[in-house]
Amino acid sequence: MLSRIMAHSEPALASATAESASTAYFAAMETFGASYLQTRLYRRPSATLTSASHWAAGGFITRLAPADWPGSPAFDYVCFECNPLLGAIRENRTRYRFSDFAAHDDRAFGSYWDALSEAGINEAHCATSYGPDRTIASLHLGFAHREFTPEQSRAIHMAGLVLTERLMEFAAPANDLPPLTRRERDCLAFVADGHTDVEVADLLGISEPTVRFHLNNARRKLGAVNRAQAVARFAIRGLM
């Protein structure tokens, strides 16, 4: 799994600009059937988070979509009238799907999905990185289909987080971080490969609480809000 994630991430990591990193990531994700991309790098509004304040924060890097989609009534509807994805920002989510906040079988979101379908989006995987001074880098990757295996979803999300961490670096180069211990590196590497805490404990011959201790220490040192972001920062700094 780890090698697959990094294989999808490498073109973005090698890119010299935020725009080229975004398009390189999209090209890699076309193997999964990706049909839409939006990337942003902006500051979380200090005022109340609303659809309007979220949009006004700007920072749009790349949008790959049908030419008549931006500014259309359907586009305005999902951006301003019905934007359930604000919940992901309020919760500091780093990985989610559109359907996590707008269930396909919920009639309340029927118009939402009808509007998205005009851009060929029937599901989207999202990745978000949170940095200092309320900086946020985000990715929305749309698909015309809804069915993904758990392995596919994890690869898409984790490669997406590597991209958003790369976008963060374009805003401000990463500061030097406290070095990780060998155990912290080992635990993160196994988590990146999709292992549970119990499995990591068995592989390393330590207790499950000790695994959690090392992972939490690594997360704090890397300045990440959760393990997924810690793994992405671990990867992008070449620490694997």
CATH number at residue 156: 3.30.450.80
Task: Provide the residue range defining the domain that includes 210.
Answer: 182-236
Indicate whether 38 and 148 sit together in one domain. yes
Indicate whether 45 and 145 sit together in one domain. yes
Q: Which of 3-17, 66-80, 218-232 has the highest mean pLDDT?
A: 66-80
**Is residue 176 in some structural domain?**
no
Give the three-state DSSP class for 37: strand
What does the alpha-carbon distance between residue 85 and residue 62 come to, in Å, rounded to a whole number?
19
pLDDT at 229 over 70: yes
Indicate whether 20 and 75 sit together in one domain. yes
Per-residue burial over 136-167, b = 16 or more CB atoms within 10 Å of its CB, e = otherwise: bbbbbbbbeeeebeeeeebbbbbbbbbbbbbb
Check: CB of residue 69 under 8 Å from CB of residue 37: no
13-71 pLDDT per residue, tens: 888 899 999 999 999 999 889 999 999 999 888 888 999 999 999 999 999 999 999 99
Q: If you average pLDDT over every residue of the chain, what do you get?
A: 89
CATH number at residue 189: 1.10.10.10
**Is residue 177 in some structural domain?**
no
pLDDT at 144 over 70: yes
Q: Provide the whole-model pTM.
A: 0.80
What does the alpha-carbon distance between residue 126 and residue 138 come to, in Å, rounded to a whole number?
7
The stretch 218-229 carries a mean pLDDT of 86
Domain end among 114, 136, 171? 171
The stretch 83-111 carries a mean pLDDT of 95
What does the alpha-carbon distance between residue 74 and residue 111 come to, in Å, rounded to a whole number?
9
**Is residue 188 in some structural domain?**
yes
Domain end among 171, 202, 222? 171
Q: Report pLDDT for 236.
A: 75
Question: In the chain, how many domains are there?
Answer: 2
Indicate whether 143 and 28 sit together in one domain. yes
pLDDT at 173 over 70: no
Per-residue burial over 108-129, b = 16 or more CB atoms within 10 Å of its CB, e = otherwise: ebeebbebbebbebbbbbbbbb
Indicate whether 160 and 43 sit together in one domain. yes
**φ, ψ at 198 (rounded to 5°):** -60, -45
